[in-house]
Amino acid sequence: MDREAYLDGLLAEDEVLRGVRERIEARGMRPISVAPGYGRLLTVLVRGCRAREVLEIGALGGYSGICLARGLPEQGGRLTSLELEADYARFAEENLRAAGLGDRVEYRVGPALDGMEALEREGRRFDFFFVDADKENYPAYLDLALRLARPGALIAADNALLQDRVLDPDDTSDAAGAMRRFDLAFSRHPRLTSVILPAYDGLGLAVVDG
């Protein structure tokens, strides 16, 4: 048994999240939800930093949305989720409602960059960001997150290692190139105090300084 399997066994993924994962598979969607261990970490981080406004970039089937919403305060907390596919957004919302969290989430359908720019025009600001969408736009998502962030906001970004493809110099794909640029910017940006956790597929964590 490897370390990740051991730790996943300790966490004992609950029935609600296990059901979401099973419904995602039954619908023929790609099984790319956040790893259970990182899902629990998202709940801990949102709760620990007392975030009230959370922005999710990429909803898929709602697995990470449930993890994020569970960390919100019962009164006044809100998750805004950006999802390209209308069908995915509806499915994710169904799962959030089934988990008793439907009143804490707002889904917006369309390209996430457009959604983030619209939120900026509306004057919205966020305490926590979770990035888990198309990899080619990760650098642009980071730039926009910094514009939408309150001082002290936390940014979490999944797939920082891209199944170790960022380590392979022969991988010249757009996705691998974008993730290398993202990892470098995320690690060295003057407004961020950051770290990239190497477990699962890599999770970037950063606090926005001012």
User: Could you name the CATH architecture of 3-208?
Assistant: 3-Layer(aba) Sandwich (3.40)
pLDDT at 4: 84
Q: Where are the domains of the chain?
A: 3-208
Smallest CA-to-CA distance from 156 within 177, 125, 133, 190 is with 133
Q: What is the 3-state secondary structure (H, E, C) of 120-183?
A: HHCCCCEEEEEECCCHHHHHHHHHHHHHHEEEEEEEEEECCCCCCHHHCCCCCCHHHHHHHHHH
> What is the β-pairing status of strands 126-131 and 149-158?
parallel
3-state secondary structure of 73: coil
Enumerate residue ranges in the chain where pLDDT < 70: none
Tell me the per-residue pLDDT of 107-160, one tens digit each, with 9 for 90 and over: 999 999 999 999 999 999 999 999 999 999 999 999 999 999 999 999 999 999
